[in-house]
Chain A
Amino acid sequence: MIRIAQISCGPEYSGVQGELEKAAEMVGAELIFPEVSLEDVRNVEERFGIKVASGDLNLAMARATRIVENPDLADAVFVATCFRCAEGAIVRSEIRKYIHENSRIPVLSYSFTERTTAETLLTRMEALVTTAKFKGLLARERQTGLTAGIDSGSTTTKSVVMRENEIIGTGWVPTTEVIKSAEAAYNAALESAGVKKEEIEGLGTTGYGRHLVGKHFGAKLIQEEITVNSKGAVFLADAQKGTATVIDIGGMDNKAISVQDGIPGTFTMGGICAGASGRFLELTARRLGVDITELGKLAMKGDYRKVPMNSYCIVFGTQSLVNSLSAGSRPEDVAMAACHSVAEQVFEQQLQEVEVKEPVIMVGGTALIEGLPRAMEQLLALKVMVPKYAQYIGCVGASLLVSGLVED
């Protein structure tokens, strides 16, 4: 049983403690609460460096110091505070940094509301448990044999076939019916690789439809996106050793993952609104009358500063889009403003929650919209790497990891 130390303020009073426990149970973990004395709480400033007005946050910091001083107490840490609490957000972020810098224990940081459900937390908890449980498998750097991966995403379904550390076939289709789309993408990958389904030694699935697709194809590995995307990203970017930051702006949500030696350390998953996701770029392309594959090239010719755009909310973002076009803005400036706005939301909402360390690797289909990595580079003031096959990152990671299970 994986022990996840819960370091939090407010979930009991938000009525969601039961949901946290349910999510942990669903992924075969148990939540534990590191014991501390009242003196530890009173003297938290001496050991942690800060004391705040809320007693429960001081208790949370005392628990964090206990974990760092006794790392055997827990396999992973879940840090959570109420959404919209400034004091909580500061402490949550400092606890995450403190544990990340002073131990090798994976940390998940989350802000909840009374609407948080076990289902919302499931992928995050699953990733946390995988990171803690399968360190050996995650340390795998080479793909061996003939394996395949299917990434059943919210917008597109992707598949790859790999042989002895090389991608030999790919398939990519829009997601409609989950199984049919997976079959189409998988068949396309098999066809381009020139191999038969029966020859595949192991299949790994990931993405929103991973369970359904995995069950349908009898997959050996069914894995959430955070783990496989980290693995796929460092594999494709040839950054398996040392630090890396993986940014995946998806069709429905975004992931920011701080990676150490190919293993996720801290990560966030979410996004306030579709205005901070690939959906908004899809909408922008449609409104500009260009194909989504052309949006990036168009954006590269534009200047985001000429168009005020804030896609914090997709409705307001669309409003900015329509207003700017009506006011006579150039389509290329609008395209770049849309890319910049999406990158800005991810920068403000998610990249503050992880340690951004080079190389910064952008993955997923949106990474191919050239304006988006460019906007991210401008915001981070760092070079952003988009590896070849960036859109297949999930299936590459799944294919790589499943080869470890085949060998075993």
Chain B
Amino acid sequence: MVKVMVYPPTSMILADLVERTGHEALVVSKEVRKKVNTPGLDSPPLNMTPEDPKKGLKYAAVDVPSGVRGRMSLFGPMIEEADAAIVIRNDDCTLGCTGCARTNELTRFLLKTKRIPLLELDYPEDEFQAKQFVHKIHEFLEGLN
């Protein structure tokens, strides 16, 4: 069992595919859940505080916008933990945690330069491509064993 980070890190479909093959999916919902379940934090709706962009300084310099650093405080630890990654290239209309293009670029860059097994794919546009998409992911995940 290896820890696989999926990109977009909000993708429940990718997380499901990862977990079906017995691996652990690293997704942002788990990071957010930790924040929501930890008492004492008070910045709705995600319970992020001004301390989070400071934690993000580990991944991006102080002159990087606070929204990027705040998001990196969620994604950064996942990238560090990842043993493998699946990255979808033409993800369409991402919002919220993945609503900032600069953060997304940095996340993809850090995953690529980590030198871990990495599968990059385009988002499928029809049924045939979708089947191939699932097949390639399955093959990649099986190979991690």
Name A's B-contacting residues (CB within 8 A): 9-18, 21, 38, 41-42, 52-59, 81-85, 87-88, 112-115
Contacts and interface: CB of A to CB of B under 8 A. Distances in A.
Interface in B55-69: 63-69
B65 A15 contact: no
Contacts of A11: 67
A54 B93 contact: no
Contacts of B98: 55
Contacts of B43: 12, 15-18
A336 B65 CA distance: 35
B13 interface: no
Contacts of B65: 10, 14, 82-85, 88
Given A54-B99, A112-B66, A13 B46 contact: yes
B79 to A, nearest CB: 16
A56 B100 contact: yes
B70 interface: yes
Nearest to B98: A55
Given A56-B100, A59-B95, A82-B67, A13 B45 contact: no
Given A12-B48, A18-B42, A84-B63, A54 B70 contact: no
B1 interface: no
A18 B50 CA distance: 10
Interface of B: 42-46, 48-54, 63-71, 92-102
Nearest to A83: B65
A17 B97 CA distance: 14
B59 to A, nearest CB: 13
Q: Which 6 A-B pairs have the closest CB atoms?
A: A10-B67, A56-B99, A82-B65, A53-B101, A13-B70, A14-B66
B93 A41 contact: yes
Nearest to B105: A53
Contact of B66 (A41, A42, A57, A113): A113
23 contacts: A10-B65, A10-B66, A12-B48, A13-B46, A14-B48, A14-B53, A15-B49, A15-B52, A16-B50, A17-B44, A18-B42, A53-B101, A54-B100, A54-B101, A55-B100, A82-B67, A84-B63, A85-B65, A113-B66, A114-B50, A114-B66, A114-B70, A115-B50
Given A13-B46, A15-B49, A54 B102 contact: yes
Given A13-B46, A13-B100, A15-B48, A55 B67 contact: no
A57 B54 CA distance: 23
B44 A52 contact: no
A85 to B, nearest CB: 4
A55 B102 contact: no
A18 B52 CA distance: 14
A118 to B, nearest CB: 12
B102 A38 contact: no
A16 B97 CA distance: 15
B83 to A, nearest CB: 26
Contacts of B45: 12, 17
Contact of B96 (A56, A58, A81, A87): A56
A15 B51 contact: yes
Given A12-B43, A112-B66, 5 more contacts: A16-B43, A17-B44, A42-B93, A55-B100, A114-B52
Nearest to A84: B65
A16 B49 CA distance: 7
A84 B100 CA distance: 13
B93 A14 contact: no
B95 A85 contact: no
B44 A18 contact: yes
B93 A114 contact: no
Contacts of B64: 84
